[in-house]
Amino acid sequence: GTADKVGAAFEDELAARGAGVAFDVVSNPEFLKEGDAVNDCMRPDRIVVGAESHRSIETMKRLYAPFNRNHDRFVTMDVRSAELTKYAANAMLATKISFMNEIANIAERVGADIEAVRQGIGSDPRIGRHFIYAGAGYGGSCFPKDVQALARTAVQHGVDPRLLGAVGAVNDRQKEHLFVLMLRHYGSVDALRGRTVALWGLAFKPNTDDMRDAPSIAIALALDDAGVRVTAYDPEGMSHAAPLMANVA
């Protein structure tokens, strides 16, 4: 509904000015990965355009012509579908991450090797090898925000987004799982207290300084609460990490 609001704002302003200007509002969601945004812009793997007129679509094709070397990847649709495509894409990737983290936790308990499981399911072309690595949970500016926004939109339109709620809940729990593993290894909080733990890498992903919803924050706070001295470093994100880690011993 964002494009509709933008269009209404334009119409109101043009009416106030007494101006008759023909315009279209196009939805052109970006799919740029942090740390690789320039390459994603120059060589997009798909271009999604939501528009209501053929004229707008042709304009967007001309705009993207210097960057589009995969003409079969230029996907056109209506505006609202393009808006939903952005949220759905990020929610799907977040779902894969949470699913694999839950499978990894099961693998720990049943004695399975999650790396072997990953290779086994990743060899299925219907699943693929992307975003099926178990870890400390996702963070950053896109996945948490977009999963929550899509869930909120669903509720506003009378849909109960049970899966989206589970994706977020699994991810929140996973951010503290490394601390749980440490606690399991040492046996008790008393055995951890007074130790020094080094955190190498603080941003939510390599080659960025983005600390938004980074799992390292939850891990550091859990360690601090347990009386552990935390020494932390990130090759890119120290300036953003320092204020967030200020209360960590």
Residues 6+ apart with CB under 8 A from 26: 3, 49, 50, 51, 56, 60, 79
Nearest to 172 by CA among 93, 101, 89: 101
* Own/partner pairs, 55-59, CB within 8 angstroms, 24+ separation: 55/24, 56/24, 56/26
Query: Any idea which residues carry the catalytic annotation?
Result: 142
